[in-house]
Structure 1
Amino acid sequence: MPNTLDFDDITSWVFDLDNTLYPRHTDLFSQIDKKMTAYVQNLLSLPRDEARKVQKDYYRDYGTTLNGLMKIHGIDPNDFLEKVHDIDYSWIKPHPELGEAIRTLPGRKFIFTNGDVGHAERTATALGILDHFDEIFDILAADLTPKPAAETYDRFLSLHSIDGASAAMFEDLPRNLTVPKSLGMRTVLIVPHNMDEALGEVWEEEGKDGDHIDYVTDDLAGFLQTYLDAR
């Protein structure tokens, strides 16, 4: 649980989207994952298993499947984003406790995602928390360079005039917290509830015990509320 002193000087609260603002067991991202596999399959005329391997290799090596497809195959990013985010958002249930905790946090609140604004807005709307955020920084705002690239965090901080030392970052991938920690941000890793579920890929767990992670929680709403109650 949070040490209140670690967060008392925080004026910018930064949240990843997928598997962070909603729990991994919601399984929303599995729809996107399947759409990405199908996209690669159709683009490269590959059997599904081979297409999935290419998809995951690009994800690991380039930060996102999209980034790999752009660099290697020169695809239209808007076409990709539109197709892979054509999903059913009814899988997400409203989370009023999370919404109230985010609303009450002192300072500005941001969604910082490797997805696009439309996906972030639809997801946050389904959760009932969209109105509590000041801005959404998406992959297009990042000039199509995804986390964990250092220049993307620099671009985000510069655009919104954020001092890293007064910001906290909540994220489900350990490697995406390395740069935020180096910028002075408080870092919180979101993990599956009771660690009942493994992360999607083995490499996604790399660094989960690193010094760049200040806190680990499987309950984002509870974590935030604990801080607020102790203020």
Structure 2
Amino acid sequence: MTAGGSMDGAQDERVLFLDIDNCLYPPDLGIDKMMKERIYAFGRENGLDAESVEATCLTYYRDYGLSVRGFIRHHGIDPAAFNEKVDESLPLEAVIATDPALRAMLESVRVRRWAFTNASLQHARRVLRCLGVDDLFEGITSCDYCEPDFPCKPERRAYDKAVREARAGAPQQCYFADDSIKNVAAARDLGWTAVLVSPAVAQVCAAAGSEQVRTVHQLPLVLPQLFA
């Protein structure tokens, strides 16, 4: 029986949704910083002055979930150009190494595995490939920057999209791990079992009302029902 299968061949509606960036790999790799630098550079190229670009991007991130959505709404930028100059320009292959421990953890998952990211599909695939786990996911729910008003976490529409694409069952059959407290809280509000993946102090988790682990490798400690 393969992961996500059942003894009688019926599809298992239980799904473990996993965020990718700063969740499947540690935040201290610095990828988030590199991405922010590219976003700020893109903002300057599209009319934002150097003094305000950082604050503007942070405002867009806060108000719209992703800075690119603010760029699209207020500056009419080409989403494909943003993807090329930000996501696709990251030197992921030089920074992210294969993670045998992550692979072993994922291989022991007894339910279906699905990646759920706010990044582009190309970026998601690159990260999973660098980590050496791309073959362990049944699919990926990502953001298509070229789709008008595309949904992203923590919006309800994004979670609905993930459930639809993964063909998941009822909320109690959805399990989720993410490094964002807002994303974890949103999943929990929907009835999902949600885990915060963060090396930060434990009281951060209390605000989300959910379990917390310092690294994704520790998921079996808080979700033992999903592991062999």
Does 1:64 find its partner at 2:81?
no
**Corresponding position of 1:158:** 164
Matched AA of 1:76 = D
Post-superposition shift, 1:183?
2.2
- C-alpha distance 167-129 of structure 1, shift in aligned 2 (>3 A): same
**Corresponding position of 1:169:** 176
Provide, for residues 94-131 of structure 1, a one-character-per-residue CA deviation record: whole Å limited to 9, x for no partner.
Answer: 11111111122012111111111111111111111111
Q: Is the 8 A contact 2:105 2:217 kept in 1?
A: yes
Does 1:88 find its partner at 2:88?
no
| Secondary structure of the structure 2 residue equivalent to 1:106 | coil
Matched AA of 1:209 = A
Does 1:139 find its partner at 2:139?
no
Post-superposition shift, 1:38?
0.2
**Corresponding position of 1:52:** 54
CA RMSD of aligned residues (A): 2.6
Post-superposition shift, 1:224?
2.9
Q: How many residues align?
A: 211
Unaligned runs of 5+ in 2: 1-11
Matches within 5 A, 1:11-90: 11-47=14-50, 49-85=51-87, 86-89=89-92, 90=94
**Corresponding position of 2:191:** 184
Post-superposition shift, 1:87?
1.1
Compare 72-81 and 22-31 and name the one that shifted more: 72-81
Post-superposition shift, 1:208?
4.0
* Distance (whole Å) between structure 2 residues aligned to residue 206 and residue 78 of structure 1: 39
Unaligned runs of 5+ in 1: 1-8, 197-204
Q: Is the 8 A contact 2:24 2:216 kept in 1?
A: yes
Provide, for residues 173-218 of structure 1, a one-character-per-residue CA deviation record: whole Å limited to 9, x for no partner.
Answer: 11112221122211000112xx38xxxxxxxx997422x4421011
Instruction: State the TM-score, normalized to the length of structure 1.
Output: 0.83
Q: Is the 8 A contact 1:169 1:188 kept in 2?
A: yes
Matched AA of 1:91 = V
Instruction: State the TM-score, normalized to the length of structure 2.
Output: 0.84
| Secondary structure of the structure 2 residue equivalent to 1:165 | helix
| Secondary structure of the structure 2 residue equivalent to 1:22 | coil
**Corresponding position of 2:210:** 214
Q: Is the 8 A contact 2:116 2:140 kept in 1?
A: yes
Q: Is the 8 A contact 2:141 2:165 kept in 1?
A: no
- C-alpha distance 230-136 of structure 1, shift in aligned 2 (>3 A): closer
- C-alpha distance 146-207 of structure 1, shift in aligned 2 (>3 A): farther
Post-superposition shift, 1:225?
6.8
Q: Is the 8 A contact 1:12 1:168 kept in 2?
A: yes
Provide, for residues 140-173 of structure 1, a one-character-per-residue CA deviation record: whole Å limited to 9, x for no partner.
Answer: 2986221111111112212322122111110111
